[in-house]
Amino acid sequence: MKKPKHKKEFTKSEPVKADPINRRDFFNKSWKWLGIIAAVEVTGMFTGFMFSGKSKNNSNPKQLLEAGPVDSFALSSVSAFMGGRFYLARQQDGGFIALSLRCTHLGCSITWEETHKRFICPCHSSAFDISGKVLNPPAARALDYYPVMIENGIVKVDIGILMERNTFRKDQLQYA
């Protein structure tokens, strides 16, 4: 007698066993991937270093922060811009400098003392004058600063570039 076409025959088969993991293959592949990831990271670091612009001071492309019109800053005055993490100091001769608020000793935040016309660090009492020059150790270097630009009478500070220095020089000031 003929069997109906659509009926399947089921046969008993052996259960399928998963291949056991070959540990040597697993470790070989892991090492290969770790090697590739490390190579990519090293390449990224190298190209970042090579094309980052000016020496080690650079971190980002221009990040201009508008501080305000030139005339709104009196001679020999200091204005705090805590969001930008700098003090904009206008010197007696009209020059501007944007001083980092990080002490160059161990990085505490400095504060401006109007009565003594100086920056003071609360951690170990380093003091700096209005241009950022060291008045009192243990800090050995002048305060770091950000480049200032003056465009159409507006003072702008590039907070993407922190400039390191040992001491104050007049060419670090920006004039209107």
70 binding ligand FES? (CB under 6 A): no
Minimal distance in Å, beta carbon 145 to ligand FES?
Answer: 16
Minimal distance in Å, beta carbon 44 to ligand FES?
Answer: 33
If binding means CB under 6 A, how many residues of this protein chain bind ligand FES? 11
123 binding ligand FES? (CB under 6 A): yes
Q: Evaluate the CA torsion angle 52, 171, 109, 88 in order and state its sign.
A: negative
Cβ atoms < 10 Å from Cβ of 140? 11
| Angle, CA 138 vertex, CA 136 and CA 141 arms, to 5° | 80
108 binding ligand FES? (CB under 6 A): yes
Q: Among 111, 124, 153, 169, which residue interacts with ligand FES (rule: CB under 6 A)?
A: 124
126 binding ligand FES? (CB under 6 A): yes
Six-digit token string for 72: 């709104």
103 binding ligand FES? (CB under 6 A): yes
Distance CA(143)–CA(78), nearest Å, equals 14
Residue 98 or 103: the one with the smaller Cβ distance to ligand FES is 103
Q: Which residues contact 93 (CB under 8 A, 6 or more apart)?
A: 75, 173
Residue 88 · residue 82 · CB < 8 Å: no
Binding site for ligand FES (CB under 6 A): 103, 105-108, 121, 123-124, 126, 138-139
